Structure 1
Amino acid sequence: MAENNLGSENTVDGGDVAEQLRVLRADVAALAETIRTLGAQRVEAGADALRNAAERTGETLRMSADDARRRGEMLAEDLESRIAANPIPSVLIATGVGLLLGTLFSRR
């Protein structure tokens, strides 16, 4: 007669299952905390990258504005020197431009 050996070898103790569930819950909680920390680090890194890009863009805009201002000043100085060198033609050109603009705007 063959005896069934399923008894004590294949039985899982209720305490073992409870302990395994406790360990599994702790592992899941630790994993969730790691994911939260990693997400926060990524968000912080993204915010830093955005701040750095904004600073670089602001500096580029300031440099462009300074360059445009310098060019405008140079053009104004050049125009002043040309007017000083040729005052009568300058007055005649300004008068002609003024009459042309007055005619254009008076027709509206």
Structure 2
Amino acid sequence: MATTTTAKKDPEREDLEEQLKVIRDDVAKLTGLLKNLAESKTAEARDQAMARAQDVLDTSERAYRSTRARAEAQAESLEAYVADKPLQSTLIALGIGLVLGRMSRH
């Protein structure tokens, strides 16, 4: 008779095995959801970083263009001054050259 009792499965054991199977399935689903969430957050962070980088690039380009335009305007202004007053411009340049020459000797 001992062999007939071992052939029967214990209902509590079957219930426990079924619960463990459900838990394994739930853990697998949760792992998949976490993976998807991590991939989504990574993509979101990458997109935000790219947008910020583009903003910095655009701001830098605008600053470069503005600075270049101001430098060109100053150069044109200087050229106009030299054209209007060539003697005075030459004397100013000579004076600056003498001062820089003396400073470089010391």
Give TM class, smaller chain. 0.7 to 0.9
Corresponding position of 1:17: 16
| Amino acid paired to 1:53 | R
Q: What letter matches 1:75 in structure 2?
A: Q
Match of 2:37 in 1: 38
Q: Which residue is equivalent to 1:5? A: none
1:12 deviation in Å? 5.7
Matches within 5 A, 1:26-65: 26-65=25-64
Give the whole-Å Cα distance in 2 for the aligned partners of 1:25 and 1:88: 93
Structure 1 vs Structure 2 CA RMSD: 1.2
In structure 2, list runs of 5 or more residues that go unmatched: 1-9
How far apart are 1:33 and its partner, in Å? 1.2
TM-score of the pair, normalised by structure 2: 0.87
Partner of 1:69: 68
Shift of 1:13: 1.5
**Aligned residue in 2 for 1:8:** none
Task: Measure how far apart 1:56 and its partner are.
Answer: 1.2
Counterpart for residue 90 of structure 1: 89
The runs of 4+ residues in structure 1 deviating greater than 2 Å are none
Give the deviation of 1:29 after TM superposition: 1.2
Query: Do structure 1's residue 102 and structure 2's residue 96 form an aligned pair?
Result: no
Residue type of the alignment partner of 2:71: G
Gaps of 5+ in 1: 1-10
**Alpha-carbon deviations, 1:5-54, whole Å to 9, x = none?**
xxxxxx96111100100100110111111011101100110000000110
Which letter maps to 1:93?
I
Query: Equivalents in 1 of 2:57, 2:104: separation in Å?
Result: 39
